[in-house]
Amino acid sequence: MRRSSLLGLLSAFGALFLGACYGKTLREWKAPEIIHADFKFRRDTFAFANETVFEYDIPSSKSAPRRRHEANSDYTLHCFVMARSVRQFFQHARFDPTQPVASNETYAELIRRVVATDPRDDRPKEPRIVIPGYPNLRAFSAVREQLVKAELGGAWQSFLQRGNWRMLLPFPAEQQQATAAELLESLQQDRPPVVHVVTHSLSINHAVLLFGAVIHRDTISFAMYDPNEPRTPLELEFDRESASFRFPTTAYFQGGAVDVYEVYRSWAF
């Protein structure tokens, strides 16, 4: 089989999973428009960071030198765990500061209950799990940082995330355009999507959560929670003409074009 035929087959296979079932097409989303989930960065995210394994010299060199991170970085390779858990707390938990502060044992059990829920279930049938003594996830994770880190799950869950197979397939423009449309629909339905951000060279292989979007005539700016950067939201930009995503320059990535697909949304991902 010719390489071009194989790529075409793989592209069609990817579109079957990532483009065939979308409702509203991207052209139907008119500019200007602002869409957001009921997700607040300062309320619904973790106060601590997923540390990078390497340190990077960005953007001084196109091929950034890397070295092992300092020994005091005790929480690495948890980007999928953190992005997924933020969504699980948003969907399945409720914080109640009027209740008394509980013990570490109680909080550990409550965290385990939250992360045991299905992140793909955006309409939970069970009552929300009540976290007493704190107003929100950011305050809770700031005070109980080590406990929260210990109970969210291991880094192996990032490596074995079921949607990782998708990295092996091409990302044609049509599929990325369909992905952008689906992300907008998810936000409109108050379902902040978790997305896997990659490049073919794996210069970035990362999970983030999107919680808002501003639709312009030429671009769409998605508001982004990056587990590596707990201080402020970032922006993932989609160029409507080229149907391509662009990740911002950060301390670990020099910025540029990336491929994007949503995870924790169906049995295949």
Place of tokens 């602002």: 34
Per-residue model confidence as pLDDT tens digits over 238-267: 999 999 999 999 989 999 999 999 998 878
Distance, CA of 62 to CA of 103 (rounded, Å)? 49
| Residue 123, pLDDT score | 73
Reported pTM: 0.85
Closest CA to 228 of 136, 171, 158, 163: 158
| Residue 73, pLDDT score | 64
Closest CA to 234 of 218, 217, 254, 212: 212
Per-residue model confidence as pLDDT tens digits over 92-106: 999 999 999 999 999
Q: Which amino acid is at 40?
A: K
CA distances 52 to 98, 163, 250, Å, are: 37, 22, 12
Residues 6+ apart with CB under 8 A from 266: 17, 120
Q: What is the mean pLDDT of each run of 10 residues along the chain (269 residues)?
A: 46 47 68 90 97 59 42 79 96 97 98 94 84 98 97 84 80 94 94 94 92 95 97 96 96 93 86
Beta bridge partners of 198: 205, 259
Phi, psi of 65 (to 5 degrees): -65, 145
Element (H, E) at 94: strand 93-96
